[in-house]
Amino acid sequence: MDLQLTGKTAVVTGGSKGIGLAVVRTLLAEGMRVVTGSRTITAELKETEAVPVTVDLTTAGGPARLIESAVAELGGIDLLVNNVGVGDTDDFAKGVRFNLLELPDDAWEHTFNLHFYSALRASRAALPSLIERRGTIINVSSVGARAAAAGPANYNVSKAALNALTKVISEQFGGQGVRAVTVSSGPVSTGVWTDPDGFVGRMAREQGLPHEVFMEQLISASGVTTGRLAAPEEVAQLIAFLASPVNITGSEHLIDGGMIKHV
């Protein structure tokens, strides 16, 4: 299937690993030119043909600097994938362990800077080019936005805000040819789940359980109908399809193995 992406340009935030790296690889395979921004440039990212930019996207000026670098490199932007997220395992764990009375302001601020403000700032910086090229913004969210009471509260609330941002962009700039779409994943086989020192691995040690056993228990308890983690490549394939010239905007697309049960 030809997605008609050959020769187009993309910016992917957080493209050094996990879902972001899979998106970079998939878009390159579809013939796109890609610039990606992250705090570190991994060996796996260096093996791709993407142009990496070292940048801290949680800072006020980081996203704009990435977009400026991308425009200089690519000449313009057809697609922005706001993917960066999770970050440090300790920060992620705070949202699980602490309730609203215990979770400090700096935890909320860091989480919103990473998951919401990075996307807002990158979108704002990229919109002039996206309007000119009738481009697309894809925000990578989480099913946690629909289940705010479960899991890291600050993370889930920030993702709910990101979902709302998609709607705002779609409504405000759809008339100028810009599409905005949300992709919400359930459990994905990234380091958060599979790395022994990742969030799930550390929780398993605290519970005195083997990593694999604890992971299977979490998947079951989460209500994942398929009984397995999604692969980052599966999320990337959905993103590539939504980046193609289809009449889809303002909507959320789940890739959660059936975790969300309500209509």
Among 62-71, 106-115, 126-135, 242-251, the minimum mean pLDDT is found in 106-115
Residues ≥6 apart with Cβ < 8 Å to 170 = 178, 179, 180, 181, 249, 250
φ and ψ of 252, to 5 deg: -110, 135
Task: Using the structure block, give the residue that is written with the tokens 């398993």.
Answer: 204
Predicted confidence (pLDDT) per residue in 158-207, tens digit: 999 999 999 999 999 999 999 999 999 999 999 889 999 888 898 889 88
Given this model, what pLDDT does residue 53 score? 98
The DSSP 8-state label assigned to residue 3 in this structure reads -
Q: Are 214 and 204 in contact (CB under 8 A)?
A: yes
Query: For residue 129, what are the domain limits?
Result: 9-186+231-254
| Other residues' Cβ atoms within 10 Å of the Cβ of residue 216 | 14
Residue 9: which of 126, 140, 177 has the closest Cα?
126
Q: What's the whole-model pTM score? A: 0.95
Beta-carbon contacts of 84 under 8 Å, excluding residues fewer than 6 positions away, are: 13, 14, 20, 37, 38, 57, 114, 115, 118
Q: Are residues 104 and 207 in the same domain?
A: no
The CATH number covering residue 45 comes to 3.40.50.720
Q: Give domain status of residue 259, yes or no.
A: no
Distance CA 51, CA 146 (A): 34
- Please check whether residues 116 and 225 belong to one and the same domain: no
Same domain, 106 and 168: yes
Is residue 114 one of the residues assigned to a domain?
yes
**145 and 210 in one domain?**
no
Domain annotation covers residue 33: yes
The packing angle between helices 211-221 and 199-207, to 10°, is 100
DSSP string, 95-123: HHH--TTTS-HHHHHHHHIIIIIHHHHHH
Give 24's pLDDT tier (boundaries 50, 70, 90).
Answer: very high
Confidence of residue 210 (pLDDT cuts 50, 70, 90): very high
- Asked if 150 and 49 sit in the same domain, the reply is yes
Which whole-number Å values give the CA distances from 217 to 131, 198, 211, in the listed order?
Answer: 46, 16, 10
Rounded CA-CA distance 217/28 in Å is: 36
